[in-house]
Chain A
């Protein structure tokens, strides 16, 4: 999967510390199935470099690869939703503003809104989710991605939380 190739390339080029990597880098394979969805990312000096996940306070994440952002929901969100049975996604070409609702996930008889982390245009939707919506639960950071979109305002990425800030944020929700 393209994502794996990008990360392997990035890890070879950066000597940044990897404080959260308690497992070898080959964790980022396409074979994630039953293992818990624990986030592993590379710390970079800029959030605009590919590979780093940024998070909204509504639990969507965006991963930048060049000029395209891939969007999904976090492990915290998929656990709080329960088994996803349906993904209501927008059409390719839909223009979204940051924080605009772009769809809904249905789980356990509940439909929850999805919010766009960035301003841009939808370029691709994950058609695998039509037959396999459970991918959102099983692999929320990989095969369970929701949409890809252009990044009209790259500065918006700086407003989002990096992984450490997001981990802190979800801890504060429990109190």
Chain B
């Protein structure tokens, strides 16, 4: 049982390749699984070069699809997270909480819900009314502003969320984002009609995170 607030270390990585960020997450996961006492909960923040990623449901994305997307100039990665295809790229704030759910609540369903609520809270700080829907993620009307896809092993979480700040949205035209036909994507910049860089979103996201997860943040 955790008495008092859990501590989470924020690590700002800047621009980092998807592959490198995955490696880093694996290292943090290992730290969790190896340590016997305090759990080193970490929140990784970064932006990726253009990359399309998929989750454990690989069948809808055969090698031909991979080639097609790579030919457009993006990288392609098959991961172990939940969720279908999405895009990561410059202007999108990617957040990977590597948490031990034992410090919070041992339920993956609860965790995903909390991530959604946290992003909704953050959007309201920008004056944007966001919501959840039967499809996971955070929506402004019929357009997804933030994608969520996580992995959980022995209560240690990885992967996370991707919030469109001033992303070049045309990258999403090449796919059916998250496999959801008939809905679109949006960004903070599109909703506010002005340029909103990831730097502006970070402090608001962190504030929403500490509130929603009732934790304290530390920085290196």
Contacts and interface: CB of A to CB of B under 8 A. Distances in A.
Contacts of A107: 82, 108-109
B90 interface: no
Interface in B27-81: 55-57, 80-81
Contacts of A109: 81-83, 112, 136-137, 148-150
A30 B211 CA distance: 46
A127 to B, nearest CB: 14
B106 A80 contact: yes
A89 B150 CA distance: 18
A86 B57 contact: yes
Which bracket fits the contact residues of B?
20 to 34
27 contacts: A79-B107, A81-B107, A82-B112, A85-B82, A86-B82, A88-B56, A101-B153, A106-B83, A108-B109, A108-B112, A108-B136, A109-B112, A109-B136, A110-B82, A110-B111, A110-B150, A110-B151, A111-B80, A111-B82, A111-B152, A112-B108, A112-B151, A112-B152, A112-B153, A113-B152, A113-B154, A175-B1
Contacts of B55: 106, 111
A5 interface: no
A169 B129 CA distance: 41
A106 B112 contact: no
Given A81-B107, A81-B108, A108-B82, 19 more contacts: A79-B107, A79-B109, A80-B107, A80-B110, A82-B109, A85-B82, A108-B109, A109-B148, A109-B149, A110-B81, A110-B82, A110-B108, A110-B109, A111-B81, A111-B82, A112-B108, A113-B154, A173-B106, A175-B1
A83 B109 CA distance: 9
A157 B55 CA distance: 34
A53 to B, nearest CB: 21
B150 to A, nearest CB: 5
Contacts of B106: 80, 173
Interface in A79-105: 79-82, 85-86, 88, 101, 104
Q: Which of B1, B106, B109, B151 has most chain A Cβ within 10 Å? A: B109
Given A106-B56, A175-B1, A111 B150 contact: yes
A101 B137 CA distance: 28
Contact of A111 (B107, B110, B151): B151
A129 to B, nearest CB: 13
Interface of B: 1, 55-57, 80-83, 106-112, 136-137, 148-154
Contacts of B1: 175
A106 B109 contact: no
Nearest to A109: B136
Nearest to A103: B56
B56 A111 contact: yes
A39 to B, nearest CB: 19
Contacts of B153: 101, 112-113
Nearest to B109: A82
B203 to A, nearest CB: 26
Contacts of B137: 109
A58 interface: yes
A106 B107 contact: no
A134 to B, nearest CB: 14
A80 B108 contact: yes
A81 B57 contact: no
Contacts of B82: 85-86, 106-111
